[in-house]
A and B are shown apart, each in its own frame.
Chain A
Amino acid sequence: MSSPSAPTDLDAASVAPVQEITYREAMRMAIREALADDERVIVLGEDVADYGGTYAVTKGLHEEFGRERVRNTPLSESGFVGAGIGAALGGLRPIVEIMTVNFSLLALDQIVNTAATLLHMSGGQFSVPVVIRMTTGAGRQLAAQHSHSLEGWYAHVPGLKVVAPATVDDARWMLPTALADPNPVIIFEHNALYGEKGTLAPDGSPVDLESAAIRRSGDDVTLVASGGMVPKALAAAETLAARGVSAEMIDLRSLRPLDIATLQESVMRTHHAVVVDEGWRTGGLSAELSAVITESCFWTLDAPVRRVAAAEVPIPYARHLEDHAIPQADDIADAASELLEVGE
């Protein structure tokens, strides 16, 4: 495998011949390649075989690779995540699928108390090369036990790497890097992205899990987002352009570690930052991002960092309430406009 490189600007990708593909297909392509290339790779999770995975990501893979390697588990999140961690210790390279981040709380003990600590507690003897994929986010009217965004909790924990692919390229090319990484890597897949189509460059290769990507360049304000908030932030940038504001849009890609240098470089140019997070505001990822930007760019900021985050409420079912509970493109554009004192 070639060494991972930083992702290119989306605009640059359109130069090469392109392949139209959904985010879901890109993810499946990555898993299929991993299973084909490395016999140590297995897929573990609820209904990953015949059912094809709750979001159909692993559909058909059991027919190609067998039920041993694409292995259905009982509804035992702590049990099968822990088994994935143990199998990684034993020399396999498991990809564990958890239906949603809400369900991952049943496996929090294994992820936080075991996967994240073993290397340190053992004085460097036992690393845990496991990849844990899970769906996150609201937008499908699934209410308060299937719709939350708890990425920030995982990003809080030393010992974990946390990524959130927002594009088909990252859906396709983050996984091989995650599997090659000797550490536990958590991949957050926003449920609203699975059906999104994008262009996949035919000459793509594994990408790094550390750097943020500037998805749109601009001069007046830096919009920072990840995962499912990336398309919304890009839409907000369009709205802002119509208002005469040139917005730069940074896709974090990695939530742990954070690419502070890229944030800093951008905000030093734009002097304004709007941080977007589908998680709650209080004690959340947006608070961390705001602090990081404030600490590193305070003297060049023309205004306080603005946060656009989920309302402080369990995500409700009704469409109109759900829409208001999570950040929308207009919320982001309006926050930036207020920050820059630009009329809407």
Chain B
Amino acid sequence: MSRFQLDGVTSDEARGLLADMIRVRVFEERCAELYAESKIRGFLHLYIGEEAVAAGVIGALDPADNVLATYREHAHALLRGVPAESIMAEMFGRATGCSGGRGGSMHLFDASTRFYGGNAIVGGHLPLAVGLALADQMQQRAAVTACFFGEGAMAEGEFHEAINLAALWNLPVLLCCENNRYAMGTSLETSESQVDLALKAAAYAIPAWVVDGMDPLEVRRAARRAVATIESGGGPVFIEFQTYRFRAHSMFDPDLYRDPAEIERWKLRDPIDTLGRWLVDQELLTDADIDALWERARTETEQAVSAADAGPLEPVDGLLDHVTVPRTDTSSTGAR
């Protein structure tokens, strides 16, 4: 447990990271139950095991920054500040959901926190991140666009087109590769000719780092360093966060492609368990404090479930809403 080091991360921040990861864990474990109860339908992709990445990076961002994520994005939305109840309501398909029930688990969006999804075409949101950063650069706004994607996206052409554009135009983009080693059921070794993903990204002549994605303190330090590099005009930064999902790809996945022993080995590195124990060892938290964090997260999640349950369904009359914006209504034109 001694592998953790504060090293620039305050003890308050370390406690905050634990609290954030617990919020996500409790929320998502409840999602799995709700899926079994058929309250949540469609695809449901859980982030359990990977929480240190979203917690470490998103806490290093400013409100003016943009965040884009994949279809495994409950953590990113929640930690970016999208209310738990509007995320849960979205998964319940309610009008009170953050996307009005149009998106579901894979398409959480929230303009007020500059959260641009919830994108379910692997690699498809990377060009979007480039464009958002281009708009910031051309309009002289100091903002970073953080884009999360899995290692599977690095086999997509859109990854290469986007990282090339970001590098060519020196754009303020933080490329966060969540390498959980499996693109659905396809292992890294069977999908990438070059498994050193940072080396691959470095071919675009940008800083590219490898970071232990099970160490939330290290993730936070790396994210802060990347943001500083980007803000100093250094252009895009790529970080490979090495992590692991403890659950199957989605609720439909029988997880036949992974050795159960491998999963158990990674679970020993559960970022919530390990950081919690370390904080207690360091006398930065007590067991009772940690119990209180879990309790608070459970309360938040249960309130979200109740609120979502009480939320109205969007009237069917509104089925065709939000296909095109009526020309006279410019209220939703972009986020700014």
**Which A positions have Cβ atoms within 8 angstroms of B?**
40, 42, 68-69, 73-74, 76, 78-92, 94, 109-110, 113-114, 118-127, 129, 158-159, 161, 180-183
Contacts and interface: CB of A to CB of B under 8 A. Distances in A.
Contacts of B335: 89-91, 125-126
29 contacts: A68-B138, A74-B165, A78-B157, A82-B127, A82-B162, A83-B162, A89-B334, A90-B135, A91-B139, A91-B335, A92-B138, A109-B121, A110-B127, A113-B124, A119-B324, A121-B102, A121-B107, A122-B322, A123-B98, A123-B103, A124-B332, A125-B109, A125-B110, A125-B335, A126-B111, A161-B324, A181-B327, A182-B325, A182-B327
Nearest to A177: B327
A3 B325 CA distance: 17
Interface string B201-218: 000000000000000000
A121 B133 CA distance: 22
A79 B161 contact: yes
B324 A90 contact: no
Contacts of B165: 73-74, 76, 79-80, 83
Nearest to B101: A123
A126 B334 contact: yes
A82 B66 CA distance: 16
B117 interface: yes
Query: 3 closest pairs, A vs B, by CB?
Result: A86-B131, A82-B127, A90-B135
Given A84-B131, A90-B136, A91-B135, A78 B102 contact: no
A121 B128 CA distance: 15
Contacts, number: 176
A82 B332 contact: no
Nearest to B128: A86
B131 to A, nearest CB: 2
A183 B334 CA distance: 10
Interface in B96-136: 97-103, 107, 109-111, 116-119, 121, 124-136
Which residue among A92, A94, A109, A122 has the maximum number of chain B CB atoms within 10 Å of its CB?
A: A122
Nearest to B90: A123
A207 to B, nearest CB: 13
Contacts of B118: 121
A251 B136 CA distance: 40
Contacts of A85: 127-128, 131
B322 A119 contact: yes
B333 interface: yes
Given A86-B128, A90-B134, A183-B325, A125 B333 contact: no
Given A42-B138, A122-B99, A129-B333, A159 B158 contact: no
B124 to A, nearest CB: 6
B131 A124 contact: no
Nearest to A257: B324
Contacts of B128: 82-83, 85-86, 89, 114
B321 interface: yes
B168 A122 contact: no
A182 B165 CA distance: 25
Contact of B334 (A79, A113, A127, A159): A127
A126 B130 contact: no
B336 interface: yes
A124 B134 contact: no
B134 A86 contact: yes
B65 to A, nearest CB: 12
A88 to B, nearest CB: 7
B332 A89 contact: no
A83 B127 contact: yes
A175 to B, nearest CB: 15
Given A79-B130, A80-B165, A120-B322, A182 B109 contact: no
A124 B321 contact: yes
Given A121-B103, A122-B107, A127 B162 contact: no
A91 B137 CA distance: 11
